[in-house]
Every structure is written in C-alpha cells, then in structure tokens.
C-alpha cells in the first residue's frame, strides 16, 4: 500500500473532488430528487468552489478539524495549480482545493467514519444557509 500522506495537495484534491461529489449525489437522490437538471442545480450548492470555500471557512471557525486535517487542507490550498475555476476568484478556488484535498486525504487513508462525519456536517451547514 502506498503512503498517501506523501501525495501532493493537487493529487489529494483530485480524489477528494470525486469522493465529495459522490456523497452529495447520493444524498440528493436519497432525498427524493430525480430530475437531472434539478439534481445538478442543487449539487452546486454543495460542490461549487464558492460552497466548498464557505464550508472550509466554517469548519475552521468551528474548530472541528484536527491539526493533521488542517495540515492537509493547507497542503491543498497552497498547491500551485495551472487551472482555475470558471466562476470563482483565485482565493476562493484555492480554499476549495484545500477542502477537496482534505476529503481526498481522509478517503485515501481510509478514515471513512471521519470523512462521513465531516460530510454530514457540511450537508447540514449548507441546509442551514439555504434556509436563511
């Protein structure tokens, strides 16, 4: 088995993006959403760079991450990417990359329970924001 803790932030974010999106898609379908157009629109409330940056800031403010988790967030955030988000500024995009890096790290190191705890927290946080 490979030591995933040695991966760079962008590689972790690559995996984290996919993992987080699958959880969000599962959640939306489980809530009874079935129309593809509506699913896509709803998913952006959770998976856009803006949403992920908001969630990452909220997690940091709530101090729910361990030191190691914050390290992997920063690794992704500080990675030099040659791409950028279509609808986000560079700061938002980098914070979102850090969020995805954290998700990728938890997934690849098989910290499933912790990953699911954080994703559940994120889903609830987005729900709170949408009610405002």
Task: List C-alpha distances in Å: 113 to 65, 99, 124.
Answer: 14, 17, 17
Tell me the C-alpha distance between 112 and 93, whole Å.
25
Residue pair 126/28 in contact (Cβ under 8 Å)? The answer is no
Residue pair 83/77 in contact (Cβ under 8 Å)? The answer is no
Q: Which of 3, 17, 26, 89 is catalytic?
A: 17
Phi, psi (5° rounding) for residue 88?
A: -145, 150
Question: Token pair of 119, please?
Answer: 């994703």
| 17 assigned to active site | yes
Q: Which residues are catalytic?
A: 17
């Amino acid at each position: 088995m490979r030591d995933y803790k040695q991966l760079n932030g962008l590689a972790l974010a690559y995996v984290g993006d996919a993992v987080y999106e699958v959880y969000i898609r599962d959640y939306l379908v489980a809530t009874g959403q079935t129309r593809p157009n509506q699913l896509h629109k709803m998913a952006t409330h959770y998976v856009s760079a803006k949403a992920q940056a908001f969630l990452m800031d909220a997690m940091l403010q709530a101090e729910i991450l361990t030191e190691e988790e914050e390290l992997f967030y920063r690794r992704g955030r500080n990675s030099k990417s040659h791409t950028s988000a279509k609808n986000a500024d560079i700061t938002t995009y980098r914070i979102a990359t850090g969020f995805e890096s954290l998700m990728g790290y938890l997934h690849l190191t098989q910290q499933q329970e912790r990953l699911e705890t954080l994703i559940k927290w994120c889903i609830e946080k987005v729900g709170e924001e949408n009610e405002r």
